[in-house]
Amino acid sequence: MAPGIPAAMDRPHFIGIGGAGMSGIAKILAQRGAAVAGSDARESATVLALREAGATVHIGHAAEHLAADATSVVVSSAIRADNPELAAAAERGIPVVHRSDALAALMDGARPIAVAGTHGKTTTTSMLAVALTTLGLDPSYAIGGDLDAPGSNARHGAGEIFVAEADESDRSFHKYAPEVAIILNVELDHHANYASMEEIYESFETFVARVRPGGTLVVSADHPGARELTSRLAGRADVQVVTYGEAEDADVRVFKINQRGLTSEVTVTLANGKVLTFTVSVPGRHYALNAVAALAAGTALGLPPHNLASALGSYTGVKRRLQLKGEAKGVQVIDSYAHHPTEMTADLEAIRGAAAGSRVLVVFQPHLFSRTQELGREMGQALALADASVVLDIYPAREDPIPGVTSDMIVKAAEAAGATVTAEHDKAAIPEVIAGMAGPGDLVLTMGAGDVTELGPEILARLDA
């Protein structure tokens, strides 16, 4: 077995290999020399990138796709029990490995930084990956989104640092043992898996308990949920807790965030009292704070703060996180992955700050019936920050419909909050609808975690026509 390939992972088969988390692990294994195979529901740019990395990828799910010599089958929490490839693995006695266990095994022997929180994980992980690469440290990383090209969400590096996004949604972040853990915020989400805020706190406490003795927890001093979590961790003497943010008692304190168009200038006081000013090349207060979390984490690993701060400026965004898709007839189209009310509000405030008086129009696609049921009212309230919004039907992802839960809940809440909003049940009609609404100088946001991202190029083409 090649060095760096965990046991039973030399010929793995990934069910749903094109997913954000799965594709990254598959890519790292392929780069380490494993014979990677898998299946996905459809062709995609990610599938193509995996094939170029040497993986064998089948389209569709069928028992015969599972190779005779497969040594393990890797699944995520989204894979249903009746999947034919999973059934075939059970019949043949092939070990089934959860995505989080595979990632944990890849981090063995490294110095891991695990980035957790209800929002901002992908951005903060990406900032660290880019900054550490810029400094020549050749990190490994696994991110929940692409940095630039499809398939750029993960890499096997020769350096000792491994940066990974730590997902709380299915409690899989309990599998990791980081040297440095970041907790950006703690909020109630993932309603299919967590019944209460208390369960969320318990889950994050379990994650913190996995930090290696002598390691560091970097945690927000601003976010109420994060502060509550920190107060519950008082007994953990073998882990250094470093708080960051605008709060007066933060160890790494943010004094000033000056937004300048699509960039921000951030001034912080470090734990040693030194003052540092650096540039963040993406708009919005929340992204500036993500960069400060990344700065605190890298400093905890012993990296010089000034060098790290300068390198953080080389991060210019990740796909779907306020990504400019293009401009046509004076209208800019921007893609946003925001799907939780807090994220929606943060991205809309960031765009408002950069818009300089231009109109902000939103095409919003709710993600998951369970999330809409719990947070639909707050989603509607967030849309009141836009000048006008169009709301699509709920993107179900892995869920079955919930009776009575539709996107109309969001439309009504938005109207009650004073928003200009319309419902559109035909996604194919959106380019025509937006072409009728948008004029020169306007900013159009396609927003949501589902296939709404596909609309950006279609809107631009229609505007050009």
Query: pLDDT tens digits, residue range 176-188?
Result: 999 999 999 998 7
Per-residue pLDDT at 196 exceeds 70: yes
121 is catalytic: yes
Is 121 annotated to bind a ligand? Reply is: yes
Confidence band for 145, pLDDT divided at 50, 70 and 90: confident
Q: Domain spanning 321-464 has what CATH number? A: 3.90.190.20
Q: Which residue has the tokens 């075939």?
A: 88
Q: Which of 46, 71, 121, 427 is catalytic?
A: 121
Tell me, what's the pLDDT at 321? 65
Residue 105 amino acid letter? A
DSSP secondary structure letters along 98-119: EHHHHHHHHTTTSEEEEEESSS
Nearest of 120, 201, 131 to residue 166 by alpha carbon? 120
Per-residue model confidence as pLDDT tens digits over 317-367: 665 667 788 899 999 999 988 888 988 988 898 888 777 778 999 999 999
CA-to-CA distance for 96 and 102, rounded, in angstroms?
Answer: 10
- CATH number assigned to the domain with residue range 12-97, chosen from the 4 options 3.40.50.720, 1.10.3720.10, 2.40.10.10, 3.40.190.10: 3.40.50.720
Task: Provide the β-strand partners of residue 304.
Answer: none
pTM over cut 0.85: no
Of the residues 71, 124, 165, 216, only one is catalytic, namely 165
Is 329 an active-site residue?
no
* pLDDT one-digit tens code per residue, 151-160: 688 999 999 9
Which of 12-21, 258-267, 403-412 is predicted with the least confidence, judged by mean pLDDT?
258-267
Tell whether residue 122 is among the known ligand binding residues: yes
Is residue 120 annotated as involved in ligand binding? yes
Q: What residues contact residue 334 under an 8 Å CB cut-off, 6+ apart?
A: 322, 323, 324, 325, 351, 443, 444, 445, 446
Q: Which of 46, 122, 133, 342 is catalytic?
A: 122
Is 284 annotated among the ligand-binding residues? no
Is 118 part of any known ligand binding site? yes
Mean predicted confidence (pLDDT) in 361-388: 94
Question: Is 175 noted as a catalytic residue in this protein?
Answer: no
* Predicted local confidence at residue 194, as pLDDT: 72
Q: What is the mean pLDDT of residues 409-425?
A: 95
pLDDT above 90 for 171? no
Provide, rounded to the nearest whole percent, the portion of the chain with pLDDT above 70: 95
**Domains in the chain: boundaries:** 12-97, 107-312, 321-464
User: Rounded mean pLDDT of the chain?
Assistant: 91
| E-assigned strand segments in 90-193 | 96-98, 111-116, 140-142, 154-155, 161-165, 180-183
- pLDDT for 195 equals 65
Do you know the residue count of the chain?
465
Radius of gyration of the chain (CA): 22
CA-wise closest residue to 142 among 104, 109, 175: 104
Q: Is 117 annotated as a binding residue?
A: yes
Q: Say how far apart CA 245 and CA 291 lie, in whole Å.
A: 11
Confidence label for 1 from pLDDT (cuts 50, 70 and 90)? very low
Quickly name the fold that domain 107-312 has: UDP-N-acetylmuramoyl-L-alanine:D-glutamate ligase (3.40.1190)
The edge-to-edge listing of strands for the beta sheet with 111-116 is: 154-155, 140-142, 161-165, 111-116, 180-183, 216-220, 240-245, 252-260, 263-269, 275-280
